[in-house]
Amino acid sequence: MKKVLITGASGGIGLEVVKKLAAQGYSLTLVARNEEKLLSLQESLGKDRHQVLSLDLTKTADILELSNYITDNRYNVLINNAGTGTYGKFVEIPLENQLSTMTLNMEALVTLSYAYLKKARSGDALINIGSLLAHSSLPGGAVYAATKSFVANFSESLWFEFKNKGIFVAGFNPGAADSDFHHNAGKETSAFPKFVVSSVAQVAEELINALNNRSKPRIVQGFKNRMMLFGFRLLSRKAAVNIMGKISPGIPHS
């Protein structure tokens, strides 16, 4: 039975990935903070096949606990999915929140990737969840967008380092999706035009396709997102950041 460890399994994109992989027969280790949600998910999927670990991956002790757990247990796939952000102007968001985002989105992801890849074997895979914003800046979400650029760049380098060992590493970059992410970040998904928002089920399906196809180091989710990115690449950086500032949910617009 193939084993997958996924962070951010209790909601949103991670939860959909979990449901789909469980239906395909994978054994999953589900990681997030909310133990109640994790236990009820484990119950619904089958208690004997799946494990839960309630951990806060902004806390150094919890990151190390999970890193040691990954070292001691064999997984065919690791999905670093847990991530947070906060909308708002840089100096108007408490610094502590932004440093927590950096710890979860980058430090935890790097630490878990390290533990996993140290022992990974041919056929194994590591998927790191970035964002469409990996390819852009975001006024009103400066730290979040920067963490996602880090994830995409980091994953791409590892793709090269591991490809000849038969180990697949990729950054998977979703566009806006209808999870609780935007609410938790201080805005609502309705801040985005409907046509750019994907369902979490759609994102999860594309993530699993990427895992199965193992074709490239940087995957942009959604045809419309790929088209938007293509258009953005034709602009100067100045023009691009001006547009992002005008449409950002994190900047008040009159």
Residues of the shown chain interacting with ligand NAP in the complex, contacts defined by CB under 6 A: 7-14, 32-34, 37, 56-58, 81-84, 104, 129, 131, 174, 176-177, 179-181, 184
Closest contact distance (angstroms) between CB of 118 and ligand NAP is: 22
What are the residues whose beta carbons fall under 8 Å from the beta carbon of 88, sequence distance 6 or more? 140, 141, 186, 250
Closest contact distance (angstroms) between CB of 207 and ligand NAP is: 9
Closest contact distance (angstroms) between CB of 31 and ligand NAP is: 6
Closest contact distance (angstroms) between CB of 158 and ligand NAP is: 17
Closest contact distance (angstroms) between CB of 190 and ligand NAP is: 12
Integer Cα distance of 17 and 92 in angstroms: 34
Closest contact distance (angstroms) between CB of 7 and ligand NAP is: 6
Closest to ligand NAP by CB, 164 or 176: 176
Dihedral of CA atoms 9, 10, 14, 15 in degrees, nearest 10, equals: 120
Closest contact distance (angstroms) between CB of 121 and ligand NAP is: 26
Closest to ligand NAP by CB, 5 or 9: 9
Closest to ligand NAP by CB, 10 or 27: 10
Closest to ligand NAP by CB, 106 or 164: 106
Closest to ligand NAP by CB, 166 or 216: 216
Q: Which of 77, 107, 93, 239 is nearest to 167 (CA)?
A: 77
Q: Yes or no: say if 175 and 134 are a contact pair by the CB < 8 Å rule.
A: no
Q: What b/e sequence results for 106-117 when a residue is b if at least 16 CB atoms lie within 10 Å of its CB, and e otherwise? A: bbbbbbbbebbb
Integer Cα distance of 83 and 144 in angstroms: 9
Q: How far from chain centre, in Å, is Cα 85?
A: 11
176, burial (CB in 10 Å: exposed 0-12, middle 13-18, buried 19+): buried
Closest to ligand NAP by CB, 114 or 163: 114
What are the residues whose beta carbons fall under 8 Å from the beta carbon of 154, sequence distance 6 or more? 109, 110, 113, 128, 171
Closest to ligand NAP by CB, 140 or 174: 174
φ/ψ of 156, rounded to 5, equals -65, -45
